[in-house]
Structure 1
Amino acid sequence: METGNTQSSYQKPSNLAGLGRRWGGQIIDSLITFFLFFAVAKAAELVGLSGDLVGLLALGAGGGYYLFSDAMPNGQSVGKKILGMSVIDERSYLNCNLYQSFIRNITTPFLNFFDWIFIFFGSRKRLGDMLASTIVIRNK
């Protein structure tokens, strides 16, 4: 009886985005998140909404962008689009979907430093990428 190796080993794509580019995209997207939070809060205050509703709308706008931004067209948040990157499924190479975007980004606010430590290993995937089965690639 012949036994073959049924496990395929992970082969790192040649166009994975570098650490500096990924960090830059994270900074841009964090700034956009804060801008949305404060802009929506200020607009809601100007309209005269109650403080609780202002906070809820601001948190929803900022948090919504942050959690779901990688599911924007072509798997590109604004920061990734500016820096020429995309988030894709590591198996199918399809663009990141809403579920994957949520899973890969929910870890960052709570495990930011710990999450990013994983990026230094061979696959260049942070914890969020591992949980969502995604990779970040260069487009340019």
Structure 2
Amino acid sequence: MDISNTSSEYQKPKNLAGLGRRWGGQIIDTLITYFLILFVGRLAEFIGLPPNVVAVLALGTGVAYYLFSDAMPNGQSLGKKLLGMSVIDERSYLNCNLYQSFIRNITTPFLNILDWIFIFFGSRKRLGDMLASTIVIRVR
């Protein structure tokens, strides 16, 4: 009896986001992170909070956005939404959740270049995507 396993083999989706689009989304999200840090910091200073509290609030807001932004509605950070991409689970195709967003983004500040080298291989997944079992697709 011949049983074919072709249906259980991973097949790369045809609508994976391209490298340029992904890099652009990364730049936009990084700029948004910096903007949030500056905005929250200035606002907290304006309110008159102590410098230590200002620093914690500003950095905490920026880091929270950066780590958890891919779990925003439809698996789209603001950068991904602007460029028509979405982060989804590679098996279920459900939107990226908080845990996956954290895992896929925590690697970037520490392994930035190494993390992105992986994207040039066939699956177009950076190390963070591999660890979180996510893929980035085009939605328009």
- If the TM-score is normalised by the length of the shorter chain, which range does it land in? over 0.9
How do 1:108-119 and structure 2 match up within 5 A? 108-119=108-119
Q: What's the CA shift for 1:4?
A: 5.1
User: Could you give the per-residue CA deviations for residues 102-133 of structure 1, whole angstroms, max 9, x where no partner exists?
Assistant: 00000001110010000000000000000000
Unaligned runs of 5+ in 1: none
Give the TM-score taking structure 1 as reference length. 0.95
Give the TM-score taking structure 2 as reference length. 0.95
Distance 1:3 1:60 in 2: 56
CA RMSD for the aligned pairs? 1.4
Name the SS for the 1:39 alignment partner.
helix
Name 1:48's counterpart in structure 2: 48
Distance 1:57 1:3 in 2: 61
Across the two proteins, how many residue pairs are aligned to each other? 139
Quote the sequence identity (%).
76
User: Could you give the per-residue CA deviations for residues 8-44 of structure 1, whole angstroms, max 9, x where no partner exists?
Assistant: 4321100000000000000000000000001001111
How do 1:50-129 and structure 2 match up within 5 A? 50-129=50-129
Name 1:11's counterpart in structure 2: 11
Unaligned runs of 5+ in 2: none
Distance 1:41 1:114 in 2: 31
Name the SS for the 2:137 alignment partner.
strand
Distance 1:109 1:4 in 2: 45
Name 1:25's counterpart in structure 2: 25
Corresponding letter in the other structure for 1:131: L
Distance 2:125 2:25 in 1: 15
